[in-house]
Chains A and B, each alone.
Chain A
């Protein structure tokens, strides 16, 4: 089995920045990533997309070009197209690459698996043609594709960014349906947020661009449903006490992103409920060390901070891992951490405002709305499980299979948690989350069968 000082899962901003610093400190690094090219979702395919659609995607996207050199750094083994499906607490990773499974060992692990879109269950959200706003961005970044008749639904800065990118690409969205309320409560976060003026200025710039392009924005939208025969045909909603209807081909949903905790949960690391961000996050110290001392987590996977924050968090983790493995003295680690922490703090300053200004769409789910897309379990079935005495998502599985399909709860976990918590009058923390087990991504029996044994002998059929 190949051995490394550090294994990094994910080649987004946190993973790339950590790889560069760890390699510079003399560590041997392996970076495993599911995609064919590095950058994560935020800088997806930046090297290929920059020359042809850099202006559409914007300056913040092109910043990714400064990070991807890490894949070619000395002592860094970069493994694209690699799906990690098991991680043991002692640092053994099992993965599949190009149809072959294998494993490797590392003294330290850095989980840099980023974020997922917060699930946004609505009537009709399983119809073909309904996608996440992130999916639309991926189609634009990676494939240069755009939907001509799309409606954007939800809240948050990403929604405006996607809309503006569509405008720049010559295919403005038919409408923006915004679910957030007036920015009154969040105003108390504003003075502090003003220190993160760059982010706010960018937001104002996006809104100005939308106004100029004449994109119609419906605010404080409620009662949203998506309808169509076998595919999206229209979206219906209430705004200003009036029902509206817009015919469209595509509906793009977004109401924030949440940490992707599949790996940290499967490792049984400690997690806490983050009331401000309305999600679970793994518990880490200020170097990114988790409740297991050899495992670190950096970037959005440890709590949503955005791409630039992820980059700095990746660096901090790399400094401490280098110190831990005797490649950096404490004084050097601390010296390097000073500007990094300052930059990180600047990114975090605007977060409470954004979290409060763009809360999740919280309208009560109708009983017949599907919450688990894989097993097609409805909100009503989850409530029935609660009525039968289910206190948490793991018990509820036995009654309705929510969370037991191929996505392993990625797109229903938080919804099921909330429905059970509401029905039982319990806190999200007490309600808990799915107990995730390996494999955290599917692996075929054929791939398992051809794996090398620890002693180096090939299994024979």
Chain B
């Protein structure tokens, strides 16, 4: 779900912006930023739905401890706060897929 700037940059990022695909949408995010931070700055809040109740979940601890920001990259479940943004990164929400 997309919002107007939930987290805003206080300084212009000096890193070049690269193309990232998340859940089928394209974003231009600063290279080297964590994927979780990048998606928050792009206005996203929820990155997945929980397997138990289907509730939306977004980044919570940002330090690799809570496992709330799980995404899927190349078929592997990863923590979005522990993945760095790079050109061509393709990620999708972790967990149960629609229609499966």
Chain A interface (Cβ < 8 Å from any Cβ of B): 34, 36, 41, 52-53, 56, 83, 116-117, 126-132, 134-135, 138-140, 142-148, 169-171, 230-232, 249-250, 260, 373-376, 405-407, 410-411, 441-442, 444, 446
Which residue of A142, A249, A407, A442 is within 8 Å of B66 (Cβ)?
A407
| Known contacts A147-B6, A171-B8; A132/B56 CB under 8 A | no
Interface of B (DSSP majority class): loop
Given contacts A135-B60, A411-B66, 4 further A-B contacts (CB under 8 A): A128-B1, A138-B62, A139-B37, A411-B61
B84 within 8 A of A: yes
Contacts of B53 in A (CB 8 A): 376
What is the interface residue range for chain B against chain A? 35 or more
Which residue of B6, B46, B77, B84 is within 8 Å of A249 (Cβ)?
B6
B10 within 8 A of A: yes
CB nearest neighbor in B for A375: B52
Would you list the 3 A-B pairs with minimal beta carbon distance, nearest first? A128-B58, A135-B62, A406-B67
B10 & A129 in contact (Cβ 8 Å cutoff) = no
Interface of A (DSSP majority class): loop
8 cross-chain CB contacts under 8 A: A56-B10, A128-B57, A134-B63, A138-B62, A230-B1, A231-B3, A407-B68, A411-B65
Instruction: Report Cα–Cα, A314/B50, bound state, in Å.
Output: 39
B7 & A36 in contact (Cβ 8 Å cutoff) = no
A142 & B65 in contact (Cβ 8 Å cutoff) = no
Closest chain B CB from A344 CB (angstroms): 25
Closest chain B CB from A54 CB (angstroms): 12
Closest chain B CB from A442 CB (angstroms): 8
B67 & A171 in contact (Cβ 8 Å cutoff) = no
CB nearest neighbor in A for B94: A406
Which residue of A128, A148, A231, A407 is within 8 Å of B65 (Cβ)?
A407
**Beta-carbon contacts of B13-46 to A below 8 Å, as 1s and 0s?**
1100000000000000010111001101100011
